[in-house]
Structure 1
């Protein structure tokens, strides 16, 4: 960890924090999800650097050590794509592998759609590719207490989170999201109330890890994090393209709660996903939860390195 360098790149008027380790022409960029930050890729960054790659993990705008945008409520997927493009330009990196987890999968796929000449391959975890024109059906198919429905409601999550310190919010989300059931609160219950204070952290997530997350969320807060991904609209990206033409590895935990989203498991297993991602490999991890890269780092690292070596 002490070999990871930390730098700032100014993109679209924001100072974006980038963790960086390794050298050489083959570069891997890691894109985090929620409630994650660059730190969630610590195991993978060290592994790919030891294997001869350069590993870069930015904090998404408004997350961790990156500046928040002046109007967080206007943050969109398109901003993340332009941030990534700006980071690559600033660091003079012509071509990369992209690895995205949770909402970080979306900009990875969209970047590959819009800038295929800059992408050697894509690895994602927890969230399958959906064409940019696709609208989310979850708010209509799932109860009012479903966590995304709650967090889309302006002010509700802010009030819920605001009762607790940042570290406790992250702790509760990690516990909730590492279960195999969808987080759905009762009518008179808030999402944070779904976790008892005596519930232990997952065994692969230490108090030291939680401390690292807590400190960074104390700095950034959750305003941008609630906008991206939960309230951001589906943007018009200016392209009708929907086929991802670069090689893709999709890693999914069999115990990931997102498999309980309506239609997702069938979409992955029926062959429909492969219609949009022709050069696709899918790997299911039997014990994997939503945080496979932190839960089973050695296994995930091996899958990633095998994929990377295939396409350099």
Structure 2
């Protein structure tokens, strides 16, 4: 009886091909489980595009504003477009600079800062407002102010807008620097919430001068403002893409953005982003060279 049991046991080991197969397949299965999720994640990431918008408004509002555009692009590309809003401006510059954004909406100053730090990215389109892609920064004073040239701002109070704003901080700061006026030369300066707050602060006599965009100056000029100095023309906000996106997708994105001007839902798509938008137009990196040169006039500490 004992011999019979031993014999069956020996034969079982010899004639069980399944056990041998499992010993061969087990390492392969382990590798499959390790790498398959990563492959799936990569495939999912490749299936959609991300649209990163710089955080000039609360994230929920920006998502609402850019959803019609994202849906329009998704339909034209036949792939989803996800809107993402970083927590701050610096993160936005880093995400775009490191080629982590398939599509990015940037302010002029943010683009110039990104370009200076990371190099060129393909540009797709620039905003057109009321028929123009250009706007100006204006340093404003009251009509009755004794200031008549930029150098006289030295020793006076000055109102800036948001510290990340092109036209209410970076451009007026650079204009002052060109006139030999540094921040330390001002009696005081403050950052206010908006261009309108700057205009009202100067009108109310709380500041001797301030920096706003031309649209805001035009609105408040009849109420008693005067332009002390006007910046060179600066191109508006723009759309850019990552430098390692395939050429076909880059061209298709550019084509779709420029074609929005003729789309039946043009007013919904553009008006949702900003009131007064009249189209999207071609843009080149050279269009921002003047701004780049202007903002190199000072070291922003």
TM-score by length of 1: 0.32
In terms of fraction of residues, the more helix-rich structure is: 2
Greater relative contact order (Cα < 8 A, sep 6+): 2
